[in-house]
Amino acid sequence: MVGGVGMAMAAVMAMACQDARAEVGEEAKEAGGPEKSLAATAYWNIPRHGEQYVTGIVGANIGALRLETRVNYEARRAMSAFVGWTFAGGEALTYSATPIVGWVGGDVRGPIGGLEASLAWRKFDYYIEIEYVHDQRERESSYVYAWSELAYRPADWLRLGLAVQRTRAYQSDRDIQRGPFAQVTFKRVTAGVYWFNPASSAQVVVVSMGIAF
């Protein structure tokens, strides 16, 4: 989560869908095929002094292949699509890195290059997503979007941490926004709340809801 939403997908969806991917992976191994997973997440963005809007993300993993599409993410009234390849490994300390390339159209139009990466150790995990959007229509609109999370899981169903984002999807006097977040997971559904710039006039609340298959 890049864009006005809390980036995402690999952070909210990858962490939220871990159990679902494991189940699908076992089924795929028995069938002799690659691991497959599908997840969709919606984010309700609520700037304190701005217009509310919803961002949508749908992603699929087929083995190491990553496919993803986003709506209202890099900008409002914009749609983007990506393809990437995942490299993962580790035992006590696990890692995952997915270089992605794509295209965005709408209010912002042009090619995108980026990276989604994560580290996990015991009950701690760190996720970062960063992308560069080259706007072919307005050069000054070209921009680096970023989203990262540092989290702790006191229980399998609860994830708490700190999120940081850099976005231009809405107007803000803060180039870098920070704040706490909490996520709860029940079976294949994950809900979360992010609170950026708490106790300031530039507060932004993001409410997320995701499902994995």
17-64 pLDDT, tens digit per residue, is 444 444 444 444 455 678 999 999 999 999 988 889 999 999 999 999
Residue 3 lies in a domain: no
Query: 65, 85 in Cβ contact below 8 A?
Result: yes
Residue 79 lies in a domain: yes
The confidence score (pLDDT) of residue 13 equals 45
Contacting residues for 75 by C-beta, under 8 A, at least 6 apart: 3, 104, 106, 107, 108, 168, 169
| Cross-strand bridge partners of residue 102 | 82, 112
CATH number, position 120: 2.40.160.40
Residue 32 lies in a domain: yes
Q: Residue 62: what are its φ and ψ, rounded to 5°?
A: -125, 95
The confidence score (pLDDT) of residue 136 equals 81
Residue 4 lies in a domain: no
pLDDT tens track, the chain, 213 positions: 444 444 444 444 444 444 444 444 444 445 567 899 999 999 999 998 888 999 999 999 999 999 999 999 888 889 999 999 999 999 999 999 999 999 999 988 999 999 999 999 999 999 999 999 988 877 777 888 899 999 999 999 999 999 999 887 776 777 889 999 999 999 999 999 999 999 888 899 999 999 999
Of the candidates 102, 104, 50, the residue with the CA atom closest to the CA atom of residue 75: 104
CA distance 208 to 194: 8
CA quadruple 130, 82, 132, 141: dihedral positive or negative? negative
The confidence score (pLDDT) of residue 138 equals 75
Q: Number of structural domains, the chain?
A: 1
Report pTM.
0.82
Residue 52 lies in a domain: yes
**What residue numbers bound the domain in which 42 lies?**
9-212
Residue 171 lies in a domain: yes
CA distance 192 to 159: 9
